[in-house]
């Protein structure tokens, strides 16, 4: 069965059938709409997505790319990526589109994939600054970057106030009387998310006349296992840390386990904060205090940027920063 068959059975043109199938009900009478829909339902007709893509010159597919994953990596190893993808998919679905996920090692691998599938737009997670300009030149579809620091590059990017997040984590621990605080994160040397959080962390301590020295920083991968090792190192440090600020929840949860394995209790011996405010924060014991990125709002902002470009046909550039807040739970204890 095809459009011509349905049109013949309904006694209308193929254009009318196409309009009804695409929800353009203002172009047909109520009786015609009901007749066409009944024929489609009775015959369980499913239009070819490929044919519709060629006819309408759009696929209704949004490509979502998670970058810097090797063949042996999985996006599900990062609870943050999993949560963001869930929110993005829900927004894309709410607009009547489909989400196609692609994990790549090199950012430019996404370009031929988009062309092959004729995607209508793209959402790009965690791209490096040096990749952003090159991708912007190569892509001929609307694209929105998420968590990309690329100063001077004309892209649409949505992130959070990472500086404020790092500041809030440190300030909370300082307000609870802590002065020997470990900073647990990937290297903050390169411009980007971690560097901004590190600046905020350092400035909060600086306000109290405290200096963040290299031995206060524990460099990790954003993985649970890496956090466990950091927790063990913090426990063994001669500095005698009373608190640790991890810049990702998955790392903070690992730190708590590493401390436990070393015979220390959270928060009685060492207080711990995370960053993201993932659902896992509420499942851990103790429940994890964390800086909330407001991930649902972040995903919605990225979606609104993209669909505004799709709707209006005009490029958008700008750096949208979603606000952050500290969500206090049970993993921090005030020093007496």
Q: What is the pLDDT of residues 163-206, one digit of tens each?
A: 999 999 999 999 999 999 999 999 998 889 999 999 999 999 99
Q: And the tokens for 39?
A: 């024929």
Q: Given pLDDT bands bounded at 50, 70 and 90, which one contains residue 54? A: very low
Better pLDDT: 177 or 151:
177
Q: Measured between alpha carbons, how far is residue 37 from residues 18, 47, 55, 326 in Å?
A: 11, 13, 20, 51
Q: And the tokens for 162?
A: 């990472």
CA 170 – CA 96 distance, rounded (Å):
42
Report pLDDT for 157.
95
Contact indicator for 184, 208 with CB cutoff of 8 Å: no
Q: And the tokens for 63?
A: 């490509």
Q: What is the mean pLDDT of residues 255-270?
A: 98
Strand-pair partners of 203: none
Does the global pTM surpass 0.85? no
Q: Measured between alpha carbons, how far is residue 238 from residues 180, 216, 234, 334 in Å?
A: 11, 11, 9, 21
Contact indicator for 37, 20 with CB cutoff of 8 Å: yes
Q: And the tokens for 263?
A: 């015979």
The CA-based dihedral angle spanning residues 143, 148, 153, 157, taken in that order and rounded to the nearest 10 degrees: 50
Three-class SS state of 117: helix
């Amino acid at each position: 069965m095809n459009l011509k068959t349905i049109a013949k059975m309904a006694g209308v043109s193929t254009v009318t059938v196409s309009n009804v199938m695409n929800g353009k009900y203002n172009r047909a009478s109520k009786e015609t709409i009901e007749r066409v829909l009944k024929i489609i339902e009775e015959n369980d007709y499913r239009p070819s997505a490929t044919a519709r893509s060629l006819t309408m010159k759009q696929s209704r597919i949004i490509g979502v790319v998670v970058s810097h994953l090797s063949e042996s990596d999985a996006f599900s190893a990062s609870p943050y990526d999993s949560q963001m993808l869930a929110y993005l998919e829900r927004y894309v679905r709410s607009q009547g589109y489909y989400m196609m996920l692609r994990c790549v090692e090199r950012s430019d691998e996404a370009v031929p994939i988009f062309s092959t599938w004729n995607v209508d737009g793209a959402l790009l997670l965690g791209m490096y600054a040096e990749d952003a300009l090159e991708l912007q030149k190569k892509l001929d579809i609307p694209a929105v970057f998420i968590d990309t620091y690329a100063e001077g590059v004309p892209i649409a990017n949505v992130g959070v106030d990472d500086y404020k997040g790092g500041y809030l984590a440190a300030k909370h621990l300082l307000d609870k009387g802590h002065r020997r605080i470990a900073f647990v994160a990937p290297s903050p040397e390169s411009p980007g998310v971690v560097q901004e959080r590190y600046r905020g962390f350092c400035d909060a301590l600086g306000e109290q006349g405290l200096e963040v020295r290299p031995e206060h920083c524990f460099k990790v991968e954003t993985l649970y296992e890496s956090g466990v090792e950091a927790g063990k190192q913090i426990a063994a440090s001669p500095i005698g840390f009373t608190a640790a600020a991890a810049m990702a929840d998955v790392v903070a949860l690992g730190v708590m386990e590493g401390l436990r394995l070393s015979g220390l209790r959270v928060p009685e011996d060492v207080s711990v904060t995370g960053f993201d405010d993932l659902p896992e924060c509420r499942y851990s014991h103790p429940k994890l205090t964390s800086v909330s990125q407001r991930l649902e709002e972040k995903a919605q902002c990225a979606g609104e940027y993209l669909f505004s470009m799709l709707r209006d046909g005009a490029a958008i550039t700008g750096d949208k920063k979603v606000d952050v807040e500290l969500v206090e739970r049970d993993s921090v204890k005030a020093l007496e």
